[in-house]
Structure 1
Amino acid sequence: MFLRRLLLAATMLSFAPPALAQEAAEDADRAGDQEIVVAGIRQAYRGDFGIREIPQAIGIIGSEQLEDNNITDLTAALDLNASVARQNNFGGLWDSYAVRGFTGDTNQPSGYLVNGFNAGRGFGGPRDIAGVERIEILKGPNAALFGRGEPGGTVNIVTKRALFGSNRGEVSASYGSFDSVRADADVNLALGETAAVRLIGFFENADSFRDTVKSESFGFLPSVGIRLGPDTVLSYDLELTRKEVPFDRGVVAIDGELGLIPNSRFLGEPGDGPMKANATGHQLQLQHEFNADWTFLGGGSYRQTSLEGFSSDPELAASRQPLFRDGRSLARQRRYRDYDAQHAVLRAEVAGDFSLGGLRNRLLIGADYDRFEYDQSLLRYRPPPLSSNPTEQASNIIDIFLPVYGRFPLPQLGPQTDRTDRQTAYGIYLQDQISLTDSLQIRIGGRFDEFSLLSRNNASGAAQSRSFDRFSPQFGIVWEASRALSVYAAYGEGFRSNIGADAAGRVFDPETSKSFEVGTKFALLKGALTGTFAAFELRKGNVLAADPGNPGFSLPIGEAGSRGVELDVQGRLPRGFELLLSYAFIDAEVREDVIDSDLGFAILAGDPLLNIPRHNLNVQLANEVNVAGRPLRVGAGVHHVGERLGETGADFHLPAYTLVRAFANWRPHERLELFAEANNLLDEVYYPSSYSALWIQPGAPRTASAGVRLQF
């Protein structure tokens, strides 16, 4: 019934008023196409399609929006699209998000693509925006084509590539709240007509609104392009980033009540020092144009990441936590993590455009190989059970109202986990989009995956291995109702291996998914304003969730579902105003009961999924005026996030919040730009995400920054 109503709504939109004029489309189409095509190297898994020809919703976060809001990290950038919700960020040391209500393992960072390569896995810290041209949120069933992704969608980061025949550069520096200092550089050098080098780097040092928490990070992200011939381009990209920041589990809620301690209060131990997250990645791609209709794209990537350091984390077990009794004494574990990961990817595809039986076919066929190895060494000290009447030192207590850091000697650690997980995957895929008429196209395709997973306990030598294979089909249809409007529907299935094991060492079964989407893509105001309205329903089996009885581990919760509607609109309004609007209603819930009477928790069918708001809205307006004869760009935005579940298997929710931001950029000279931005202008107290009622990430108060950008 739900899907029937959504399909009816999408069909009704196809009979929109004449404002969606026929003459609007060609210019709008070309603008839309340019947003998803990279000069020199195509995007993998994409093929040659205009946005309105694709039976799939696509969200684009461009470089102008990133610069307007002075966004420097991936998580903040994804806030601009309402289909994406923040998840557990592992003490500020990784990116984690859900698209259309679904994330992967809550104890792993979210995967993403970089220029079409699987690249988000591992422990290299949050992704910085330096070197990013744009971010694509590729939603819906077609995400299965990319392999090993979530059914809600896949995030693809498109990096800034070396440009042939261009010598130019840009440097910037900014200073912001809490003594945040940042510098960026981007210099492109053309080496004749056949080679180019682009040098990109950043450095950032900052305090924070969190007591005693400071961070430092830097990165070098160069790109090299070489023309091997008139139809052949080779590109190489390096990612070298380093980050140091204390592990920070955030604040606590006492008996479910937030705000009893200030959001600035750090509940770890400064004596633990910073965690160190490192990433070194290489990416090589070769593109060859056989002719105007056939293209080859292939390459490989290799990425090493590591995470190392100490932390003091609130104990979650009620039997060991005196905070649940006296409301002020927080017992803490102490941990030492030494995580290493290696991720290798090889891929190749051929795209062709040909006629068969009088019908136009656009074919995409390819194969990929993915190998991910994860070494996890964890030492831990855990507070003893309260039944043994432990001392405050034994429980590693901190008073949440009157904290005294370094009150006790740091506890000595013992072995907890020493494990290696290795996942190897092979995939082949095929997609054909057939033009049945000038206005009607169908898409058929599928992907076959074969996984093997090995999980080995290095301490005992015990190992478990599993192998899986599956074919995942996809189907789509696109009808161009007019040159300014298209209506589409799509269905796809997915298959994703769950890496790792539960607290008992059992290897997880893979996730399987089914997705259905209908929508319409439209152009208003003669193509100046474009948008997508989509409705979807997703179902996923063998879903993992945080294990309430064993923090840091996951447990399977069976089946989960997500359904909802989205509206994304972007472009120019009358009088020069620029609009960015993204709204999503998402109903994501558990579909099966998971009850463990021994550990005292229950996850019931109908329970919402962790950190997923039903309502999410981001809207932004900008305009450009002249000041002293020079352009001044000003804008403001509002971000609203609804109430979310804050702990799996519990009745604890994070409250809704609304944030207001503003920005301004002025060019007193054509090569000089002054910029400023302010976030959370109303100084709202808010909580973006949590893992449990004792691990809650607080949001920053009102902040601002200003800087200068010089182009040459």
Structure 2
Amino acid sequence: MLRFAKDRRLLSGALPMAMALAPFPAAGEAFAEDAAAEGEERGAAITVTGVRQAYRGDFAVSEIPQAITEISAETLEQNGIQRLTDALDLNASVVRQNTLGGLWDAFAIRGFTGDENMPSGYLVNGFNGGRGFGGQRDAAGIERVEVLKGPAAALIGRGEPGGTINLVTKQAELGRTFGSASIQYGSFNRVRGEADANIAITSGITARLIGYAEDGDTFRDHVHQTRWGFLPSVGVALGDDTRLTYDFEKTRVSVPFDRGIIVLNGDFDTVPRSRFLGEPGDGDTVARATGHQLRLDHRFSDRWSLLVGGSIRHTLLTGFSSDAETVESRQALYRDGRSLSRQRRSRYYDADHAVIRAEIAGEFDTGALRHRVLIGADHDAFTYDQVFRRYRPPALAANPTEQQGYVIDIVNPVYGRFPLPQTAVITDRVDRQRATGAYVQDQIEVTDRLQVRIGGRYDHLTLETDNRLSGVSARRNHTRFSPQAGLVYKLSEPLTAYASYGQGFRANVGTDVNGTIFDPETSESIEAGLKLTLLGGKLNGTLSVFQLTKSNVLATDPNAPGYSLAIGKARSRGVEFDLGGRLPGDLDVLVSYAYVDAEARSSMLDPAFSFRISPGDPLINIPRHNLNMQVARTFTFGDRRAQLGAGMQYVGRRSGATGTDFMLPAHALFRLFGKVDVTKNIELFGSVTNLFDKHWYANSYSPLWVQPGAPRTATVGLRARL
């Protein structure tokens, strides 16, 4: 977002947007307001101190025909959240999906996720940046998480119809010097340290240095994790109206690959939730990421601005794992109830992702009509080099020995009982995706109450596959136009109605049995709702209804095991309600509820396990009911400031395996958090999650790959601020 000392037009739009987005007021808002007031008083020249977000334009949230919610850095800090996956739990429209044993971020928005064999994509500062295999994103360095729901392909392109996650990172703030550092200790001997220092080198150059390191056990036996990251940012003022920002990312995660527990005959107590059924001898799986992002933000006038930037990111995931065999004809567990046959797997996932984009935002008048436009173009290049190796137990009909079955006793596991099996190459392939797109959006103010948004995006997509194992290469080009339209009508001062329509697409990875690359997955979205703003913008809510449809979903080719056909359809529809802000008496509230009915709309076979899917079958890991509530109160005793808060998350019953009647049970989790000033610059903070030690399950791929949720977990720490 841009902040200008004298530009009242921008401040009048930007500051209400920040207030409307934030469930809990952040410290940065007060600074922005003070800076605005100071600039007005002294009549200073226009100065760019922040960075505008791509795809957004100069709109208050109430003017956008789309449901948008935000999870602020303060909310993350209050709850002691360190992972993006946990942060997204705070919004009911977003639910967990399978995370490759906890090694990538996977989520569904409004019932739809992407390719189950890839991490979920997201934006970083408005740029496509979530693809790749760098491990689960840490919350350090995140200023806020924006949940941009509904049709957005006309601007963003190539994504899921349910919505998009945009991470706004903590960036260098020009002309200021401040910092913080914290150390914390938590359950399972977890120790974590963080530091954040914003240093004004000169009046026009500022560096912000952010780093974290974490080490400790988990509630899972034999699962110890180590992670660290360095996330610096440098801001340079190139004159009064131009800002250059460079962000760097270097992270590493090291943890044993963990498929979770097994559930036999519907019994979720088949094994303790702590039991590790892999093999410690496999060692850690390591995920690494190195990224660079450069953005130039220039203001031509009080009506027109330019944002140009690019990013490159390299990720690498390597390691071995021992996973439960999921095919019944190879699984000894179904014979004696305790001998778990396992596969052994090796992964080498190497990915490079590069993005460049430019966007002009501005406004002009034609007669009585006011136009606010976005005009932009981008180029996206993604290369995915994968080598996947596997050892698989023989079919039970061959009467394999326990060593051949790579068996582990689930009741009394003995690790290292057999030599680690040698794996053979199953996949050795490079996939390349190149996409170039251009878009335009015009939001027309027809009257003081009515605004109309129209726009569209044209994309040219090139897909290439080089199968080194089969020697077959393929290449295919696609073009696609994605339109959008929306209406915003101000019913009264606090209440606004909106409606929107959009189309989109996402590239499918892989080929059919003949080596032909698939057509993209296509989608169509409609949404309508009401937005409420009360207490001068301190309390904001959105009620929305939506329906999304997808076509060209991949399904197994019944005549060619290991290959797929694009024949599937799916639909999701539902109702959402989000309310957040500050009530009188320094009481912060957050309520997020979603009812989502997501189901298959055609007959198909599941690509992984060949289970039959019929119209009406629920999509995996999508609950119909999801609710998150939180309340926190700030108060003082003596000369010390303190805060106490509590929250609750309810996740309904949901499918745990595609094409079966296996269901994950509903759960309700409660949490407490608080902080108190020890001295003027030092605070003591802590949190307890899963307060009543509920047994719950985060996600599932099959009854033999079920991820149990953490038991009661406590954290306490000290934070110093300068």
Category of TM-score, reference length = shorter chain: over 0.9
Residue 302 of structure 1 pairs with residue 290 of structure 2: no
Q: Pick closer, same or farther for the CA change 1:549–1:587 going to 2, 3 Å.
A: farther
Residue 42 of structure 1 pairs with residue 88 of structure 2: no
Contact 1:686/1:698 (<8 A) preserved: yes
Please state how far the C-alpha of 1:528 moved relative to its aligned partner: 3.1
Contact 1:546/1:648 (<8 A) preserved: no
Picking from 524, 531, 538, the partner of 2:541 is 531
In structure 2, the partner of 1:148 is: 158
Residue 105 of structure 1 pairs with residue 130 of structure 2: no
Q: How many residues are matched?
A: 688
Map of 1:547-696 to 2, 5 A cutoff?
556=566, 558-595=568-605, 601-696=611-706
Q: Pick closer, same or farther for the CA change 1:160–1:547 going to 2, 3 Å.
A: farther
Picking from 76, 79, 82, the partner of 2:89 is 79
Amino acid at match of 2:198: N
Picking from 488, 510, 520, the partner of 1:478 is 488
Please state how far the C-alpha of 1:257 moved relative to its aligned partner: 2.4
Picking from 19, 35, 38, the partner of 1:31 is 19
Please state how far the C-alpha of 1:324 moved relative to its aligned partner: 1.7
Contact 2:555/2:606 (<8 A) preserved: no
State how far apart, in whole Å, the 2-side matches of 1:420 and 1:144 are: 29
Residue 403 of structure 1 pairs with residue 391 of structure 2: no
State how far apart, in whole Å, the 2-side matches of 1:369 and 1:389 are: 54
After TM superposition, the structure 1 stretch with the greater mean CA deviation from structure 2, 498-507 or 326-335, is 498-507
In structure 1, the partner of 2:249 is: 239
Contact 2:555/2:607 (<8 A) preserved: no
Q: Pick closer, same or farther for the CA change 1:690–1:501 going to 2, 3 Å.
A: farther
Q: Pick closer, same or farther for the CA change 1:546–1:50 going to 2, 3 Å.
A: farther
Map of 1:391-540 to 2, 5 A cutoff?
391-501=401-511, 507-540=517-550
State how far apart, in whole Å, the 1-side matches of 2:306 and 2:608 are: 57
Contact 2:556/2:608 (<8 A) preserved: no
State how far apart, in whole Å, the 2-side matches of 1:215 and 1:546 are: 36
Residue 278 of structure 1 pairs with residue 251 of structure 2: no
Contact 2:473/2:515 (<8 A) preserved: no
Q: Pick closer, same or farther for the CA change 1:481–1:29 going to 2, 3 Å.
A: farther
Residue 169 of structure 1 pairs with residue 176 of structure 2: no
State how far apart, in whole Å, the 2-side matches of 1:269 and 1:84 are: 32
Map of 1:121-160 to 2, 5 A cutoff?
121-160=131-170
After TM superposition, the structure 1 stretch with the greater mean CA deviation from structure 2, 113-122 or 255-264, is 255-264
State how far apart, in whole Å, the 1-side matches of 2:601 and 2:501 are: 20
Residue 179 of structure 1 pairs with residue 189 of structure 2: yes
| Per-residue deviation, residues 118-161 of structure 1 (Å, max 9, x unmatched) | 11111000000110000000000135421111100000000000
| Per-residue deviation, residues 193-222 of structure 1 (Å, max 9, x unmatched) | 111100000000010000000000000000
State how far apart, in whole Å, the 1-side matches of 2:463 and 2:538 are: 49
Amino acid at match of 2:274: S
Contact 2:590/2:629 (<8 A) preserved: yes
Please state how far the C-alpha of 1:557 moved relative to its aligned partner: 5.3
Contact 2:145/2:167 (<8 A) preserved: yes
Q: Pick closer, same or farther for the CA change 1:363–1:525 going to 2, 3 Å.
A: closer
SS, match of residue 208 in structure 2: strand
Unaligned residue ranges in structure 1 (runs of 5+): 1-24
Contact 2:556/2:604 (<8 A) preserved: no
| Per-residue deviation, residues 360-380 of structure 1 (Å, max 9, x unmatched) | 000101000000000001121
- Larger RCO (CA under 8 A, 6+ residues apart): 1
SS, match of residue 575 in structure 1: coil
Please state how far the C-alpha of 1:459 moved relative to its aligned partner: 2.6
Please state how far the C-alpha of 1:656 moved relative to its aligned partner: 0.3
Q: Pick closer, same or farther for the CA change 1:596–1:362 going to 2, 3 Å.
A: closer
In structure 1, the partner of 2:126 is: 116
SS, match of residue 422 in structure 2: coil
Amino acid at match of 1:217: R
Contact 1:107/1:546 (<8 A) preserved: no
Please state how far the C-alpha of 1:111 moved relative to its aligned partner: 0.2
Amino acid at match of 2:509: I
Q: Pick closer, same or farther for the CA change 1:599–1:99 going to 2, 3 Å.
A: closer
Contact 2:441/2:455 (<8 A) preserved: yes
In structure 1, the partner of 2:326 is: 316
Q: Pick closer, same or farther for the CA change 1:577–1:422 going to 2, 3 Å.
A: same
Picking from 368, 377, 398, the partner of 1:388 is 398
After TM superposition, the structure 1 stretch with the greater mean CA deviation from structure 2, 667-676 or 529-538, is 667-676
Please state how far the C-alpha of 1:255 moved relative to its aligned partner: 2.1
Please state how far the C-alpha of 1:597 moved relative to its aligned partner: 13
Please state how far the C-alpha of 1:248 moved relative to its aligned partner: 0.2
Map of 1:48-59 to 2, 5 A cutoff?
48-59=58-69
Please state how far the C-alpha of 1:39 moved relative to its aligned partner: 4.9
Amino acid at match of 1:32: A
State how far apart, in whole Å, the 2-side matches of 1:641 and 1:144 are: 32
Residue 293 of structure 1 pairs with residue 281 of structure 2: no
SS, match of residue 86 in structure 2: helix
Q: Pick closer, same or farther for the CA change 1:598–1:676 going to 2, 3 Å.
A: closer
State how far apart, in whole Å, the 2-side matches of 1:291 and 1:597 are: 54
Please state how far the C-alpha of 1:552 moved relative to its aligned partner: 9.7
Contact 1:26/1:483 (<8 A) preserved: no
State how far apart, in whole Å, the 1-side matches of 2:702 and 2:165 are: 26
Q: Pick closer, same or farther for the CA change 1:538–1:362 going to 2, 3 Å.
A: same
* Identity across the alignment (%): 57
Q: Pick closer, same or farther for the CA change 1:219–1:30 going to 2, 3 Å.
A: closer
Please state how far the C-alpha of 1:30 moved relative to its aligned partner: 6.5
SS, match of residue 324 in structure 1: helix
State how far apart, in whole Å, the 2-side matches of 1:248 and 1:71 are: 21
Please state how far the C-alpha of 1:524 moved relative to its aligned partner: 3.2
Residue 710 of structure 1 pairs with residue 698 of structure 2: no
Please state how far the C-alpha of 1:230 moved relative to its aligned partner: 1.2
SS, match of residue 491 in structure 2: strand
State how far apart, in whole Å, the 1-side matches of 2:134 and 2:157 are: 22
SS, match of residue 468 in structure 1: strand
Q: Pick closer, same or farther for the CA change 1:33–1:696 going to 2, 3 Å.
A: closer
| Per-residue deviation, residues 424-481 of structure 1 (Å, max 9, x unmatched) | 0011110000000011100000011111111111133211222111101000000111
Contact 2:14/2:59 (<8 A) preserved: no
Map of 1:220-239 to 2, 5 A cutoff?
220-239=230-249
State how far apart, in whole Å, the 2-side matches of 1:465 and 1:100 are: 32
In structure 2, the partner of 1:18 is: none
State how far apart, in whole Å, the 2-side matches of 1:638 and 1:39 are: 38
Q: Pick closer, same or farther for the CA change 1:265–1:519 going to 2, 3 Å.
A: same
State how far apart, in whole Å, the 1-side matches of 2:609 and 2:689 are: 42
SS, match of residue 152 in structure 2: helix
In structure 1, the partner of 2:384 is: 374
Contact 1:33/1:49 (<8 A) preserved: no
Contact 1:645/1:654 (<8 A) preserved: yes
Please state how far the C-alpha of 1:567 moved relative to its aligned partner: 0.4
- When the two chains are superposed, the root-mean-square deviation of aligned CA atoms in Å is 2.2
